[in-house]
Amino acid sequence: MIIKTFNSLDIFKKRREKLNSLAGPDCVFILFSGEEGHLAPFRTQSSFVYLTGFEEPEACAIIKTGKKPEFFLFVRDRDPALELWDGERFGPLGAKKDFGADQAFSLKELHNELPQLLRGQSSIFYSMGEYLENDKIVFSARKQAVALDRRSGKSLSSLCDPNQIISQMRVIKDSHEKAWMKDCCELSAKAHTYAMKSIQPGMTEKQIQGILIFSFMQQNATTEGYTSIVASGANATTLHYRANNRKTQKNELILIDAGAEKNYYKADITRTYPVDGKFTSFQHEFYQAVLEVQKDLIHKVIVGFSLPELQEEAIRQLTQVMIDLKLLKGKLKDLIKNKSYQKYYPHGVGHYLGLDVHDVGFSKKDDQPVPFQAGMVITVEPGIYVPLGDQEAPKEFRGLGVRIEDDIYITKTRPEILTALAPKEIKALEAVVGSEPLRLPS
Ligand code: GLY
Ligand code: MN
Ligand code: MN
């Protein structure tokens, strides 16, 4: 079975046209799809699939800009013996026919063809340092291109970072991307809800991770978008806890940070709730305070605001919560100035989301905040984490970690919460958690 996720290739052609206009003439972009490893399943490099729609490993795309832009693909040859084991390939003929390349070659021809393709180009956009073998091919071809052009007196073309331009494009989601992201966010939110319903004290974190993955796959996701964080009790105070090997107990909270990947787009959702479905009064107070901050921050996510400003606001509000909960003593202004809040809130409030969980896009440019634009998607994920051994914190809050994370599509008028299907209000959580216990195989 040939791998082909996208039916319409028109969107990829339009993206290459946009790249052409942003870069200006006489540029050449060199992108590789990535190598197939034996330990992890292969996933095509995000910018490669974004501009080509082609998903096989060991492929190279060359995009030349100018009045008559050109698109070349170098791909694996057809090979019946290998295809018997690993599945059908497009080969150069299929790559040209099915992916709209002006010309397609065997990857084996890259050494020979690349110097010709680089001749006379003023800038080469290539991301160095990702794979040494590819660096060698590109540098050698760049040198050979100058040698071929010696008589014309052309100098070595300059080497530029393709992400500067591609991230400008990727950070704004078009209507197709919005639909795919909404789909992935909604199925991920449903998987969270399914896990909430299924959960019972005594289940292990790994079993709960399994329930999430089951639900992702039942809804035709490609895979987990990243290793799910299933952190019960004080494990929730480890920000990127991934061991997922503890048995849950009643009277404690569980923090689940999980999202699927589908059509190459990711969701990124965190919910925190009691394993047995009932908040204690201290958990209630702590959770409600973080929830109110999160909801207030989401309201600010509209065109014109920015990630650095959102972080400032998160710091201000979370520090006030820390004072109210008696985690910190002192004046708000001083605690912010001397960064005391970092003890309990050590991370950023959010990030761009898309083909990667921490997606491309700049939050600052020339030291100035980059304003939100319509079509961006960001996460909003404030949290407070009190280490178990923190002798300065009130006893009842030690070992509590609460983070609440939603994915927001940005518009001019109102934040569109793509992950709203996953409950987060205390009442809703108490009604849902444990409501349909899952019988695990004995
Ligand atoms: N799941 C990783 C993050 O929230 O940034
Ligand atoms: Mn997350
Ligand atoms: Mn996140």
**For 213-269, what is each residue's pLDDT tens digit?**
999 999 999 999 999 999 999 999 999 999 999 999 999 999 999 999 999 999 999
Angle in degrees, CA 19, 368, 335, rounded to 5: 135
Atom of ligand 1 nearest to the CA of 240: 2
Flag whether pLDDT at 81 surpasses 70.
yes
Flag whether pLDDT at 156 surpasses 80.
no
Q: How far away, in angstroms, is 404 Cα from ligand 3 center?
A: 10
Name which of 373, 377, 372 is nearest 353 in CA terms.
377
Task: Give me the pLDDT at residue 8, please.
Answer: 85
Q: How far away, in angstroms, is 356 Cα from ligand 2 center?
A: 12
- Is the CB of 177 within 6 Å of ligand 1? no
Task: Give me the pLDDT at residue 82, please.
Answer: 94
Query: 320 CB contacts (<8 Å, ≥6 apart)?
Result: 332
Task: Give me the pLDDT at residue 42, please.
Answer: 93
Angle between helices 110-118 and 132-148 (to 10 degrees): 50
Atom of ligand 1 nearest to the CA of 405: 4
Flag whether pLDDT at 154 surpasses 80.
no
Name which of 130, 151, 141 is nearest 45 in CA terms.
130
Ligand nearest to the CA of 352: 3
Q: How far away, in angstroms, is 423 Cα from ligand 2 center?
A: 16
Per-residue confidence band for 41, with pLDDT thresholds at 50, 70 and 90: confident
- Is the CB of 226 within 6 Å of ligand 1? yes
> Looking at per-residue confidence, does 304 or 154 come out higher?
304
Protein residue with least CA distance to atom 5, ligand 1: 358
Distance CA 425, CA 321 (A): 18
- Is the CB of 54 within 6 Å of ligand 1? no
The number of residues making up the chain comes to 442
Distance CA 401, CA 404 (A): 10
Distance CA 138, CA 130 (A): 12
Q: How far away, in angstroms, is 350 Cα from ligand 3 center?
A: 6
Distance CA 110, CA 113 (A): 5
Flag whether pLDDT at 191 surpasses 70.
yes
Protein residue with least CA distance to atom 4, ligand 1: 268
- Is the CB of 261 within 6 Å of ligand 1? no
In 332-423 the beta strands, taken as DSSP E runs, fall at: 364-365, 368-369, 377-380, 383-385, 401-403, 406-409, 416-417
Question: Which amino acid is present at 214?
Answer: F
On whether the CB atoms of residues 298 and 406 are closer than 8 A, the answer is yes
Kindly state the average pLDDT of the residues 68-94.
Answer: 96
Protein residue with least CA distance to atom 3, ligand 1: 268
Q: How far away, in angstroms, is 367 Cα from ligand 1 center?
A: 24
Q: How far away, in angstroms, is 241 Cα from ligand 1 center?
A: 11
Using most ligand atoms within 8 A of CB, pick from 227, 269, 270 the residue to mutate for ligand 1.
270
> Looking at per-residue confidence, does 427 or 1 come out higher?
427
Kindly state the average pLDDT of the residues 291-312.
Answer: 98
Task: Give me the pLDDT at residue 409, please.
Answer: 98
Per-residue confidence band for 137, with pLDDT thresholds at 50, 70 and 90: very high
In 127-193 the beta strands, taken as DSSP E runs, fall at: 158-160
Task: Give me the pLDDT at residue 1, please.
Answer: 63
Using most ligand atoms within 8 A of CB, pick from 209, 239, 349, 357 the residue to mutate for ligand 1.
357
Atom of ligand 1 nearest to the CA of 347: 5
Atom of ligand 1 nearest to the CA of 229: 1
Atom of ligand 1 nearest to the CA of 379: 4
**What pTM did the predictor assign?**
0.97
Q: How far away, in angstroms, is 64 Cα from ligand 2 center?
A: 37
Rounded to the nearest integer, the mean pLDDT of the chain is 96
* Residue 421 backbone dihedrals phi, psi, to 5 degrees: -70, -15
Flag whether pLDDT at 28 surpasses 90.
yes
Q: How far away, in angstroms, is 78 Cα from ligand 1 center?
A: 39
Flag whether pLDDT at 153 surpasses 80.
no
Distance CA 380, CA 270 (A): 10
Task: Give me the pLDDT at residue 299, please.
Answer: 98
Flag whether pLDDT at 370 surpasses 80.
yes
Name which of 63, 246, 83 is nearest 162 in CA terms.
63
Q: How far away, in angstroms, is 50 Cα from ligand 3 center?
A: 21
- Is the CB of 357 within 6 Å of ligand 1? yes
